[in-house]
Amino acid sequence: MSLRNVGYDAFVSLAPGGLLQQVGRMGQRAAANFQSLIDNTEDIPTCRCMPSDSCWPSIEEWDKFNQSLGGKLIFSKASRYSGSVLRKPKLRPFFPWWLALRSRNKALQYAKDHNVHLTIRNTGHDYYGRATGAGSLSIWTHHMKRIEILDYESPTYTAYEIAHANGLLLVGGDSDSVGYAGRYSQGGGKGPAASKYRLGSDQVLEWEAELSGGGGGTYGVVVSMISKAYPDTHTAGAQLVFTNAGLSDDDYYHAIEMFHAHLPALVDTEITALYITGGNFSKLSPVMAPGLTGEQLEGLFKPILSKLENSRSSTSMSFSTYLGAYKDMNGHQNISTVQIGGRLIPRSLVQNNNPSLTQAYRQVHRKGGLISAFILNVSRKSMDKPENSLWSHSDWDKNVADQALITNELTPEIAKLVPEGAACLNKGDPNELSWLKVFYEPKYACLRGIKRKYDPDDMFYGLKSVGSEAWQEVEHGRLCRVATM
């Protein structure tokens, strides 16, 4: 079976990069100056236009554009965050002007004609902030709501429910705010059923308007996606917590090392799990096992439980449907307060150098970090895809400081164990300096060629996405071409 996610309407936002009052002051003379700019130069513009520029469309031009879309452009007001905070490089103003439109081409053409930064937004669940952009016109695809179940013989909240109502399940992300047809499936996509059914990108049978792979918002706008869907099944769920209570430091990390040693056998039974570990606790939750019962799942954990003895607690449950397990075991995630970085850890490292991995965990914990890991086995061969082959093997100032700690100290502790390693595209470090190698090699040359073919004008941009090396975000989030490109 397959499921088609087709849009009636997309939404588009306009995110000015300066105060709304600036738009009013600058807008009156914008049309004449913009025409003059076109007449007087044949060069490709160095930077995208911003509200404070003479090339920015006037209020009258926006009104005319709004009328062409049936009056669906919704103007918002400026946020009132601290100016000192918003001057931080990654904390730019985001003042969206939302609109719904039936013709995405109108938005694409308008952005191209007026040299306006274009972004693509689904649910907005994105650790890099690629769903926003200063001074951008953003096509909001989450409101494309027509979904059909199709017989096949040779976004998420809505899609899961409709699949369930038809006796099917979809392989989605690990949070209900992850858009099914957005960057989840376009950026690889792992979720609680991945060990049984593989990655999100493996579920895609057909895109309309954009090719599969290479990251979301890179080549075009996805207006339709046909996805695999599977017969619904009973599903087991579990969680396990163990602490350092009554244990020496060495004994606690020995328990972590022992836990890691059992992971290959667990994921080979098509179990997928998420865990988080700190210097005094480790929590494995949720554990998801489609097709198993709670009793069967508990039996698989017996070797681990017997060795942890009194320092742990565990529960296992049985659900009659996959969606029931998903809703009960996967809570809503607030990613706006999370700073991340990481690497893909191959099975060979766990099997052959487990003590070094444990030592790296110690160093991360000593420096104040937590480690969150997704445990899965997606090694069953599918078609050749651009995902990396290693898949098969608070307060503002503190957030900024935490991300610097992750980039400069915590991630390197893990990275030195896998010097040729890779990282998950959707959950990597947005400040990763070696992102071309870590996120895309050895597929980048192919992906860049596709980008040049289908987006020769570089209309589509996303941080750390294919082709983004040709651009840089400068003061106030202005998007400019790199001088050497």
Does residue 20 belong to any structural domain of this protein? no
Query: Residue 270: its pLDDT value, please?
Result: 92
> Which residue from 148, 134, 137, 146 is spatially nearest to 91, judged by alpha carbons?
134
Does residue 411 belong to any structural domain of this protein? yes
Query: Residue 220: its pLDDT value, please?
Result: 64
Query: Residue 137: its pLDDT value, please?
Result: 79
Give the number of domains in the chain.
1
3-class DSSP state for residue 435? Answer: helix
Distances (CA, A) of 430 to 36, 122, 126, 129, 427: 38, 19, 10, 9, 9
3-class DSSP state for residue 92? Answer: coil
Domain that residue 286 falls in: 235-320+342-422
Does residue 448 belong to any structural domain of this protein? no
Does residue 379 belong to any structural domain of this protein? yes
Pairwise CA distance, residues 122 & 180, whole Å: 9
Query: Residue 85: its pLDDT value, please?
Result: 46
Does residue 401 belong to any structural domain of this protein? yes
0.85 surpassed by pTM: no
Does residue 128 belong to any structural domain of this protein? no
Cβ burial, residue 252 (10 Å; 0-12/13-18/19+): buried
Query: Residue 277: its pLDDT value, please?
Result: 93
Contact 193, 376 (CB under 8 A): no
Does residue 164 belong to any structural domain of this protein? no
Query: Residue 424: its pLDDT value, please?
Result: 78
Does residue 414 belong to any structural domain of this protein? yes
Tens-binned pLDDT, residue by residue, of the chain (485 aa): 554 443 323 333 344 343 222 222 223 333 333 343 334 434 556 899 988 889 988 888 888 887 887 776 666 555 555 554 444 444 443 333 444 445 566 777 888 899 988 877 766 666 666 667 777 877 776 665 555 554 444 344 577 888 899 999 999 887 777 777 767 787 778 888 899 999 888 898 887 764 334 445 566 666 678 889 999 999 999 999 999 988 899 999 999 999 999 999 988 999 999 989 999 999 998 999 999 999 999 999 988 888 887 677 888 889 999 999 988 887 666 666 667 778 888 888 999 999 999 999 999 999 988 898 889 888 865 555 555 665 555 455 666 677 788 888 888 888 888 888 888 777 778 888 888 998 888 899 999 998 888 888 888 888 888 999 999 888 778 889 987 44
